Amino acid sequence: MASNVYIGLVHYPIYDKRKKVVATAVTNFDIHDIARCARTFGAEGFFVITPLESQIHLVERLIHHWVAGGGSTYNPTRKEPLSIVRISRTIDEADREISGLWKRKVKRIATGASRHPRSVGFGSLRKILEDRNTPFFILFGTGWGLTEEVKDGADYVLEPIEGIDYNHLSVRSAVAIVLDRLVGDRLG
Amino acid sequence: MASNVYIGLVHYPIYDKRKKVVATAVTNFDIHDIARCARTFGAEGFFVITPLESQIHLVERLIHHWVAGGGSTYNPTRKEPLSIVRISRTIDEADREISGLWKRKVKRIATGASRHPRSVGFGSLRKILEDRNTPFFILFGTGWGLTEEVKDGADYVLEPIEGIDYNHLSVRSAVAIVLDRLVGDRLG
């Protein structure tokens, strides 16, 4: 049975360090690391969300290199994870693609490094994801994080990963920990 | 109380894809991501282990930039994690530095993506780490992983992170998940 979990890496709309809404640049390491985590934990798809044409071309080239080009023979362990990467111009566009496949409304989960009035714990969300008839779309922000508007529009806002007086994980590390906590050791 | 957990990122001795023992190159993203994870979960130190002078200079420059140079004002959230980064030429050299501070023998933990005859589970190792009078040194391999010799010389070999028919996480993602499972939510 296909997994009901999808990941979105959002490059717009995103806060910069001054809380201005911007489009961030795509980072190669994000795509590789997150695709490999998504594949490890059985996520069904990983959407890279960016409206910038230059960035879209960059991601397309990267996927092509590892899935069909020279990289696919140099390191075949990269081929499978990058096969689940999709590119979307907006969160809504990715959402429509998922709901089109499922013929069901997608439930969105926003993540972030700070507490939110609506924060849901990892344990509770893990149980919610057990509803296999509903597709869930977990959104991760780049830069200084997802905008309040994106959080307000989400069905759930996940509690932050708590550190010891410090919580500035890279988005790559955050995705790894969040997926492990929410669907790690879940079978299929 | 200071934490009893130290991390080592090993660049030599390491297997390459043909299982030949090599020295791998240092990756900037590894240093940043792992330092930020180490700081988040309260690890006491993070040793980058490489015998190559060129690589040592590269890591020194990177640390200086973010701890004392231009990076420290551009993004202060990088300063604190990079302050715990140390450079060692060998695993033994790092081990001696830790045992010198503790006046105690260091217990080494090897990690990897494949099962090992001596594999210890995450739950058991989490309990073992509660012995706060002993310093533990968790070793992560780059490239195609730690050599059998390093594993044989370790006090414990941690079980791999199990994926769904796939376990090729980046070392950055592996460190994030391993630290979260072993010391996440541990207080101080």
ipTM: 0.94
CA B152 to chain centre: 17
Mutate to test the interface with A, among B78, B114, B166, B179 (most CBs of A within 10 A): B166
Is the pTM here over 0.90, yes or no? yes
Cβ of residue A32 closer than 8 Å to a chain B Cβ: yes
Cβ of residue A145 closer than 8 Å to a chain B Cβ: no
Confidence label for B35 from pLDDT (cuts 50, 70 and 90): very high
Q: Phi first, then psi: what are they for A76, rounded to 5°?
A: -65, -20
Nearest by Cα to A37 from A3, A2, A82: A82
Cβ of residue B173 closer than 8 Å to a chain A Cβ: yes
Spatial distance between the Cα atoms of B66 and A3, rounded to a whole number of angstroms? 41
pLDDT, residue B72, reads 86
**B105 or B167, greater pLDDT:** B105
Tokens of B22: 């090599």
Inspect the interface and report whether the beta carbons of B173 and A170 lie closer than 8 Å: no
**B169 or A77, greater pLDDT:** B169
Tokens of A21: 């809404």
Chain A, 65 to 84: residues with Cβ < 8 Å from chain B are: 75, 77-78, 80-81
pLDDT, residue B75, reads 84
Q: Which of A36, A81, A163 sits opposite B41 (nearest CB)?
A: A163
Inspect the interface and report whether the beta carbons of B162 and A173 lie closer than 8 Å: no
Spatial distance between the Cα atoms of A40 and A56, rounded to a whole number of angstroms? 25
Confidence label for B2 from pLDDT (cuts 50, 70 and 90): low
Nearest C-alpha of chain B: how many angstroms from A185?
Answer: 7
Distance between terminal CA atoms of chain A?
7
DSSP state of B156: E
Cβ of residue B103 closer than 8 Å to a chain A Cβ: no
Mutate to test the interface with A, among B9, B172, B182, B187 (most CBs of A within 10 A): B172
Segment (H or E) for B57: helix B53-67
Kindly state the average pLDDT of the residues B5-17.
97
Kindly state the average pLDDT of the residues B12-30.
96
pLDDT, residue B188, reads 46
Inspect the interface and report whether the beta carbons of B176 and A173 lie closer than 8 Å: yes
Which three-class secondary structure state does DSSP give residue A58? helix
Element counts in chain B: helices (H) and strands (E): 8, 9
pLDDT, residue A1, reads 41
Name the average pLDDT for chain B: 94
Over residues B137-148, the pLDDT tens digits come to: 999 999 999 999
Helices A28-40, A53-67: inter-axial angle, 10-degree rounding? 50
Inspect the interface and report whether the beta carbons of A176 and B181 lie closer than 8 Å: no
Report chain B residues whose CB lies below 8 A from the CB of A170.
Answer: 29, 32-33, 36, 172
* C-beta contacts of B78-82 below 8 A and 24+ residues apart: B78/A168, B78/B32, B78/B36, B80/A166, B80/B39, B81/A166, B81/A168, B81/B32, B81/B35, B81/B36, B81/B38, B81/B39, B82/B31, B82/B32, B82/B35
Decide if B58 contacts B26 (C-beta within 8 A).
yes
The tens place of each residue's pLDDT in chain A, 188 residues long, gives 459 999 999 999 999 999 999 999 999 999 999 999 999 999 999 999 999 999 999 999 999 999 988 888 888 888 889 999 999 999 999 999 999 999 999 999 999 999 999 999 999 999 999 999 999 999 999 999 999 999 999 999 999 999 888 889 999 999 999 999 999 986 54
pLDDT, residue A139, reads 98
Q: Are strands A5-10 and A136-141 parallel, antiparallel or unpaired?
A: parallel
pLDDT, residue B186, reads 67
Report chain A residues whose CB lies below 8 A from the CB of B36.
Answer: 168-170, 173
Which three-class secondary structure state does DSSP give residue A41? coil
Cβ of residue A91 closer than 8 Å to a chain B Cβ: no
Nearest C-alpha of chain A: how many angstroms from B70?
Answer: 16
Inspect the interface and report whether the beta carbons of B176 and A172 lie closer than 8 Å: yes
Helices B171-183, A28-40: inter-axial angle, 10-degree rounding? 60
Distances (CA, A) of A69 to A34, A37, A62, A66, A76: 20, 22, 9, 6, 11
pLDDT, residue B15, reads 97
Mutate to test the interface with B, among A33, A73, A183 (most CBs of B within 10 A): A33
Spatial distance between the Cα atoms of B68 and A93, rounded to a whole number of angstroms? 43
Q: Where are the alpha helices (DSSP H) in chain A?
A: 28-40, 53-67, 70-74, 79-82, 91-102, 122-128, 148-152, 171-183
Report chain A residues whose CB lies below 8 A from the CB of B169.
Answer: 33, 36-37, 40, 176
DSSP state of B146: B
Contacts of B169 (CB under 8 A, 6+ apart): A33, A36, A37, A40, A176, B113, B161, B163, B177
pLDDT, residue A32, reads 95
Decide if A89 contacts A59 (C-beta within 8 A).
no
CA A126 to chain centre: 16
Inspect the interface and report whether the beta carbons of B184 and A168 lie closer than 8 Å: no
